Every structure is written in structure tokens, then in C-alpha cells.
């Protein structure tokens, strides 16, 4: 009897697990669109047009909840760059914008995009705005394919400046300020010794090496 109860509990937990597996947080720079403007926070449905005109053809309509997405041929990773279901936070990459419209990439895998009419201009965030907002709130994480130099803390915004410390096993990377392609950060490593210096948050080509550790 006890064995049957345990099996039932385990089965119930297994069935409900997918509801907690819908978060999308970039881990590699290759999952980020280097040439995009930033992000737009979308609600549901996401109605995308061929052109920035309400009379233009609707090319895709996307509906989402914290754990489901339609059309089913798209995945959460295809549609969103950042998605936190528990917080109803859904961010799509912005490929272009006008005063009233944003062009959103709705299929990251195939780089397909469509135009969404803005319902709130403050939902659009440039890369700088996004990092300043979410990086300062949650801290930063180093992406898995970042170059080795990303783990060096410099005394100034120049790779020829003195290396003041190395990041080994970061527990928390606090963003203090962005200066061009550099970020002044304070790091707590496993050794608990605080370290402060500059790291490259993106390359000259726009490739991101770190990303806000959104939770």
C-alpha cells in the first residue's frame, strides 16, 4: 500500500514538472541576436503583421501562458530571448522599430520576424537599458562561450590596463555601471574575498559575453 502511494506521488511530481521547465535564460552568446536593438516585453496574444500597418497581413499570432505556447510548432526558445513564466515576463528581440511599431523576431531558430503595434512605449528596452535594469537588480552571469579574458578584472576600460584580479567561481557579480563595452563590477567568489574591476560585457562586434542573471 505504501509503495503504491509513493509511486502515485512520484508520478504526480513527474507529470507536473514541465510546468516548471518553461523558463528561457540565455547561456551562450550564440543564442543572442547581436545586431538587434534590444527587447520588447510582450503580453498575449502577440499579433504580428507583415508591415508596420494594422491593415497589413497578419503573419503570426502567438498565445502564451506560464507553461503553454501556441502555435505548437514554435517552442519557448524559438519565440523568447527571456521568459520567466512565474513572473509573466516575456521578452522578444527587437529587429527594428518605428514610433508606433516594433519588429520582433518570433522564430529565433530561423530568424523570422514580424511587426507588432506597441501598446506601451516603455516596454521597449535597448540593450543598455535592459542591462542597467535587470543587471543591477539580479547581477550578471558570464556566458558559457565567453572568451577567457572575460574572467579578468581590469583597472580601467582597456585590455592593456592592469589586471587587478581574476574571477574563478563567481557566486555573485554585481553590476555597478556600464561604460561603453565595459562594465564596472564587484564580484564575490567562492573564497568570499570581494573583487572590483572592469570586465568586457560585449565585444566590439556587439557579441555579449555576460548577461543579466534574471530569476
Please state the pTM of the whole predicted model: 0.86
Dist. CA 106–CA 84, nearest whole Å:
17
In this structure, are residues 23 and 17 in contact, taking their beta carbons and an 8 Å threshold?
A: no
| pLDDT, position 173 | 97
pLDDT tens digits, 167-188: 999 999 999 999 999 999 999 9
DSSP-assigned letter for residue 202: B
Dist. CA 196–CA 155, nearest whole Å:
9
Cell numbers representing residue 29 in the block: 552568446
Rounded to the nearest 5°, which phi and psi values hold at 149? -65, -20
Residue with the three cell numbers 556600464: 178
Dist. CA 138–CA 146, nearest whole Å:
19
Q: Which domains does the chain have, with CATH numbers?
A: 23-119 (no CATH), 128-212 (2.30.30)
- Average of per-residue pLDDT values in the chain: 90
Dist. CA 42–CA 4, nearest whole Å:
44
pLDDT tens digits, 143-163: 999 999 999 999 999 999 999
Does 83 have pLDDT greater than 50? yes
pLDDT tens digits, 98-152: 999 999 999 999 999 999 999 998 999 999 999 999 999 999 999 999 999 999 9
Contacts of 160 (CB under 8 A, 6+ apart): none
Cell numbers representing residue 51 in the block: 508591415
Identify the band that residue 2 occupies on the pLDDT scale cut at 50, 70 and 90.
Answer: low
**How many Cβ atoms from other residues are within 10 Å of residue 51's Cβ?**
13
Does 5 have pLDDT greater than 50? no
| 50-59, 99-108, 191-200: the lowest-pLDDT one | 191-200
CA end-to-end span of the chain, whole Å? 40
Amino acid at each position: 500500500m505504501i509503495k503504491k502511494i509513493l509511486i502515485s506521488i512520484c508520478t504526480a511530481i513527474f507529470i507536473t514538472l514541465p510546468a516548471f521547465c518553461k523558463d528561457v535564460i540565455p547561456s551562450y552568446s550564440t543564442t543572442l541576436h547581436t545586431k538587434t536593438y534590444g527587447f520588447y516585453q510582450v503580453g498575449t496574444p502577440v499579433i504580428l503583421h507583415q508591415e508596420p500597418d494594422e491593415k497589413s497581413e497578419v503573419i503570426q499570432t502567438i498565445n502564451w501562458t506560464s507553461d503553454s505556447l501556441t502555435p505548437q510548432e514554435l517552442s519557448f526558445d524559438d519565440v523568447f530571448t527571456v521568459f520567466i513564466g512565474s513572473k509573466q515576463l516575456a521578452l522578444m528581440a527587437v529587429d527594428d522599430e518605428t514610433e508606433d511599431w516594433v519588429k520582433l523576431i518570433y522564430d529565433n531558430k530561423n530568424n523570422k520576424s514580424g511587426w507588432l503595434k506597441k501598446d506601451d512605449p516603455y516596454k521597449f528596452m535597448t540593450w543598455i537599458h535592459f542591462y542597467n535594469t535587470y543587471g543591477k537588480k539580479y547581477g550578471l552571469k558570464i556566458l558559457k562561450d565567453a572568451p577567457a579574458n572575460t574572467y579578468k578584472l581590469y583597472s580601467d576600460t582597456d585590455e592593456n590596463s592592469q589586471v587587478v584580479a581574476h574571477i574563478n567561481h563567481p557566486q555573485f557579480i554585481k553590476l555597478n555601471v556600464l561604460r561603453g563595452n565595459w562594465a564596472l563590477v564587484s564580484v564575490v567568489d567562492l573564497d568570499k574575498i570581494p573583487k572590483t574591476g572592469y570586465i568586457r560585457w560585449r565585444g566590439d562586434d556587439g557579441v555579449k559575453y555576460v548577461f543579466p542573471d534574471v530569476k
